[in-house]
Amino acid sequence: MAAGYDSNVSRESLALTLAPYLLGALLNWALLGCLSVQVYIYSLSSSSDGRGLKTLVYGVYTLDVFQTAFATYNAWMQLIWALGNFETLLDYIWSLSAVQILAGILSCTVQCFFARRIWILKHTAMMRRIVVCIVVLAFLQCFGVIAFTALRVDTDIKPVFAQQMVAPMIWLAGSFICDVLIVGSMLSILKEARSQTTIKSTESILTKLIILTMQTGLITALTAGIQLIIYLLRTSAAMPQNQYDLVPMFMLGKLYSNVLMATLNARTTVGGGEVTTVANKSSIAFRTDLTDTSRTTEGSTVNGGEDGVGANDEPIAASKERRDVSYCA
């Protein structure tokens, strides 16, 4: 221990206060490792993607690298460089603020990405309204985390109800509701597409996409919900003084980034040491018209010839309104 350590501080109290910085940094690094693998797989199979999508992917990855650097620096400052009596443990230093703000920016970016996918896939008035709600909530929760961070950093502002409850409620509740809307909308679209096809292989693909949507969408919603519950319990004195709500905060931005990459990489298959894009070289390139139940089409196989269409040829269009559902898990 550093010189000047306050012997009156119990080991249990230190554990409640210090553990979130260690656990948060470790989990942040672990999720960055998963994200790096996802980005590598994407780099091998993204030749057909536009410049905008590639910029989004590599931009998000860059922000995540910076977030991990800030998280590591914060853990160093709190666990190693803290003063002997640990009076700074409950302070919001700038590196923790940076981690939190980047989490809000990353979540807003990914939520808007899915909102755009839903807008493209479904043209009904109700779905368009839902997309508008998703975008509004995405920006609202981003502004909420920025406001919450500003209130915590500004030491001249005394703890008030708005600081303790309103700002984090806007941030975490907004993020939770936004994720639920995204999951519900995507499930509705995919289930409708599955009900319109009679092709077993296509139905199997859509079933896998539905499972992927459930897994990736609910994990971010649950993480935001858990963080909100812990924070509310802590501020209401129902729990001992601790900062365990910081642990899911360290994870939240990385989880959104991994969800984005898992969705994009769902278009690819890995086998024999190679990664190939489903739409170009794998067995099925599925396209369906969500507004026309009369026709469904299936692309050619890799050997190019069973359906009279080569492996690199465009599948037959079922109608003018076809959308690539397999790319929108």
How far apart CA 174 and CA 176 sit, in angstroms, is 5
Beta-carbon contacts of residue 301 (< 8 Å; ≥ 6 apart):
283, 307, 311
Q: Is pLDDT at 138 greater than 60 in this prediction?
A: yes
Q: Is the pLDDT of residue 282 over 60?
A: no
Range 204-217 average pLDDT = 76
Under a CB-based contact definition with an 8 Å cutoff, are residues 192 and 290 in contact? Answer: yes
How far apart CA 291 and CA 209 sit, in angstroms, is 19
Least confident segment among 27-31, 49-53, 127-131, 206-210: 206-210
**Residues 261-282, mean pLDDT to the nearest whole number:** 58
3-state secondary structure of 99: helix
| Domain definitions of the chain by residue range | 11-275
Q: Check pLDDT > 80 for residue 278.
A: no
Share of the chain above pLDDT 70, in %: 68
* CA angle 59–110–267, rounded 5-degree value: 85
Range of 50-54, 90-94, 274-278, 319-323 with top mean pLDDT:
50-54
Q: How far apart are CA 254 and CA 30, in angstroms?
A: 9
Q: Tell me, what's the pLDDT at 1? A: 36
Fold category of 11-275 in CATH? Rhopdopsin 7-helix transmembrane proteins (1.20.1070)
The total number of residues written for the chain in this structure: 329
Least confident of 4-18, 120-134, 296-310: 296-310
Contact 139, 108 (CB under 8 A): yes
Q: Which helix (H) or strand (E) holds 180?
A: helix 174-196
Q: How far apart, in whole angstroms, are the C-alpha atoms of residue 168 and residue 219?
A: 19
**With b meaning 16 or more CB within 10 Å and e meaning fewer, what string describes 150-183?**
ebbeeeeeeeeeebbeebbbbbbbbbbbbbbbbb
Mean pLDDT within 195-201: 75
Using the predicted structure, report yes or no on whether residue 121 has a pLDDT greater than 80: yes
Please tell me the pTM assigned to this model: 0.74
CB 306 within 8 A of CB 300: yes
- Indicate the range of 87-91, 191-195, 248-252, 262-266 predicted with least confidence: 87-91
